[in-house]
C-alpha cells in the first residue's frame, strides 16, 4: 500500500513551494492537487490553477509523483489539455499522473457560461473526452470528429515522457465511468458513496468501497482486463471517518482498506480553519511512520 497527499492550490508560491518540498521529505508516494476553478468553502479564498502549480512543484521537487484529483471536462478541452499534460510530464521527468473524472455540478460546471449538464450528458462527454485525450497523448498526429470534442490535424510532438502515455486514474462509481476505468485506466479513484459519503455511518463506509471494487472487478472482466492491473485509490476526507486524529486511528483505517484491496491512500495536507484542519505534527508522524505500523 502507498500513501499520498492532496495539497490544495491555495498557497502563494513563496509559501507553497515549501509545502510541496515537505511532502517529498515526508516520503509521500505522490502529491496531488484539485483541478478546479474554485471549490466549495474555498470559493472566496485564494485558489490557483492546477497545471501551473504542478509545473512549479515539478521544479521544486525531484522524486515525488505529481498529479490531479481530478481533472474533468467542465472547463477543459482534450486538445489543449493534452498539450499541457505533455509539457508537464516533460518538466517533471515523467512523474505525472492524471486523475480524471466526469465532474460535478459545482462552480466549474457553469463558470464558462454554459448550463450545467445533465448526469446523462456529463457521462457522455466524459467518455468522449477520455477517449480523445487518450488518442492525443499516444499519437503524434490526431484527427477525430466527435459529438462534443474534435481534433483536426493536431500535433503532439515529442509526446509523453512516460510510455505509452501519462497514466490515467479514473474517478468513477457508476457503470459508464467504471467501464472507462476498465478500458483506459491505470488506476481507479473513489472517495466513498457519491450520494453523500459524509452521511454514511463510519462502520458502513468500508462496505461501500467493497461494493464499488466488486463493480470495478466486473467491469474489468467484461473488458478482458485483470482488475489487479489497476491501482485502487481511496481519497480521504469525504466520509465521517477521522483517520488523521492519531497514528493509531490512521493505522486502523488504513488496515481496513488494505484488506479490501485499496493500494493507495490519499490524505489531505492540513489546512487550518477549514474542513481539512488537522495537527501537522500528527500528520507528519502518520506520513513517516503510519504505513510501517501496518506490518
**pLDDT tens across 204-249, in order?**
999 999 999 999 999 999 999 999 999 999 999 999 999 999 999 9
Check the CA dihedral 239-241-244-250 and report its sign. Answer: negative
- What sign does the dihedral 65-274-14-39 (CA atoms) show? positive
Q: DSSP readout, 189-219?
A: EE-S-TT-GGGS-GGGHHHHHHHHHHHHHHH
Cell triple for residue 192?
Answer: 466513498
Structure confidence by residue, pLDDT tens digits, 148-178: 999 999 999 999 999 999 999 999 999 999 9
**245 closest CA partner among 274, 273, 277, 275:** 277
DSSP3 helix / strand / coil % (the chain, rounded to 5): 45, 15, 40
Which residue is associated with the grid cell 492550490? 9
| Model confidence, pTM | 0.97
Tell me which residue of 82, 100, 78 sits closest to 90, measured CA to CA: 82
Amino acid at each position: 500500500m502507498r500513501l499520498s497527499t492532496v495539497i490544495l492550490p491555495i498557497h502563494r508560491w513563496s509559501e507553497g513551494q515549501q509545502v510541496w518540498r515537505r511532502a517529498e521529505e515526508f516520503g509521500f508516494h505522490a502529491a496531488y492537487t484539485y483541478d478546479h476553478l474554485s471549490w466549495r468553502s474555498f470559493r472566496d479564498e485564494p485558489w490557483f490553477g492546477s497545471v501551473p502549480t504542478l509545473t512549479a512543484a515539478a521544479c521544486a521537487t525531484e522524486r515525488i509523483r505529481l498529479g490531479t484529483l481530478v481533472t474533468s471536462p467542465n472547463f477543459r478541452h482534450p486538445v489543449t489539455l493534452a498539450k499541457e499534460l505533455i509539457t508537464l510530464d516533460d518538466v517533471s521527468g515523467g512523474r505525472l499522473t492524471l486523475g480524471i473524472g466526469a465532474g460535478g455540478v459545482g462552480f466549474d460546471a457553469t463558470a464558462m457560461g454554459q448550463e450545467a449538464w445533465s448526469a446523462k450528458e456529463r457521462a457522455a462527454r466524459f467518455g468522449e473526452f477520455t477517449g480523445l485525450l487518450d488518442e492525443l497523448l499516444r499519437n503524434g498526429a490526431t484527427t477525430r470528429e466527435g459529438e462534443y470534442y474534435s481534433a483536426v490535424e493536431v500535433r503532439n510532438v515529442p509526446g509523453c515522457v512516460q510510455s505509452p502515455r501519462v497514466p490515467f486514474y479514473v474517478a468513477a462509481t457508476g457503470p459508464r465511468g467504471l467501464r472507462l476505468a476498465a478500458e483506459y485506466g491505470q488506476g481507479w479513484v473513489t472517495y466513498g458513496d457519491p450520494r453523500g459519503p459524509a452521511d454514511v455511518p463510519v462502520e458502513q463506509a468500508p462496505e461501500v468501497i467493497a461494493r464499488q471494487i466488486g463493480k470495478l472487478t466486473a467491469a474489468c472482466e467484461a473488458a478482458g482486463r485483470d482488475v489487479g492491473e489497476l491501482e485502487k485509490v481511496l481519497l480521504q476526507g469525504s466520509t465521517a471517518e477521522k483517520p488523521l486524529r492519531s497514528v493509531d486511528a490512521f493505522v486502523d483505517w488504513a488496515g481496513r482498506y488494505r484488506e479490501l484491496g485499496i493500494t493507495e491512500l490519499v490524505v489531505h495536507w492540513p489546512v487550518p480553519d477549514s474542513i481539512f484542519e488537522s495537527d501537522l505534527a500528527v500528520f507528519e508522524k502518520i506520513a513517516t511512520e503510519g504505513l510501517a505500523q501496518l506490518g
